Amino acid sequence: MDKVAFLGLGAMGYPMAGHLARRFPTLVWNRTFEKALRHQAEFGSKAVPLEEVAEARVVFTCLPTTKEVAEVAERLFPHLRPGTYWVDATSGEPEASRRLAERLLERGVVYLDAPVSGGTAGAERGTLTVMMGGPEEGVEAVRPYLAYAKKVVHVGPVGAGHAVKAINNALLAVNLWAAGEGLVALVKQGVSAEKALEVINASSGRSNATENLIPERVLTRAFPKTFALGLLVKDLGIAMGVLDGEKAPSPLLRLTRELYEVAKRALGGEADHVEALKVLEAWGGAEIR
């Protein structure tokens, strides 16, 4: 059976690599190597030095930005074998990924940008949605290895996956902020946020923010740290690059990016993205309850 490798065992990568290890011989590497050793103990994967991941037929990466992916690729470059597939689950930058794809092709390695949606819960359950950019042959070759996915969509050429991911997360940001504005106003009117959401979620204003994020995290005041605010701001910046490249009209998305930049300055990049609503609550003088 072909080996696979997974590089980057963060909040998403750790459970994603766990699903791979249940089905394939899986090599794992992480910058903090102790985490790779913990993964090995928990899932039966094999923690290896970086150079050894080149033994795998399919190499997965899930790192903070495309910059880190490119740095790892350069370190691995002399060891990579022709016929290898590189599946990048990072929420990366389309143009930089296209350059990386060209570089890897010099070694006969096919690069596919394959960011995911579904959050840490989806990663743990193995129900993520994968949006893939790259050649059709490569997409079909790696499809059987995507053990962490429930849905895989080939969205276009290299870079398209990252572009779709960035726009998707920009829409998440819009929905979350807009719902927060409306709910702060309703609470100040004396309406229970829980009752307001009961109506909204049976009506046309519903979204993932109103159906899941706000009830589970804001009303409860739990605010679990699953997706850092700083990473959402990064994705909003990537979305701006997509919009700029196409000269697309985007006043709402641009304003949304600025609002989350303000939230990041107020709360810090390590705060969870849903905590951005705390800024709205402070401005409005009311908690969403």
Residues classed as catalytic: 165
Tokens (6 digits) for 137: 């042959």
Return the axis-axis angle of helices 13-23 and 33-43, rounded to nearest 10°: 40
Separation between Cα atoms, residue 229 and residue 256, nearest integer Å? 13
Tell me the longest C-alpha to C-alpha distance in the chain: 65
CB within 8 Å of 206: residues ≥ 6 apart: 200
Buried b vs exposed e over 142-160: b needs ≥16 C-beta within 10 Å?
A: beebbbbbeebebbeebbb
Structural contact between residues 39 and 14, judged by C-beta atoms closer than 8 angstroms: yes
β pairing state of 46-47 and 128-133: unpaired
Separation between Cα atoms, residue 170 and residue 231, nearest integer Å? 12
Helix ranges (H only) for 77-125 are: 94-105, 119-125
Tokens (6 digits) for 14: 């750790």
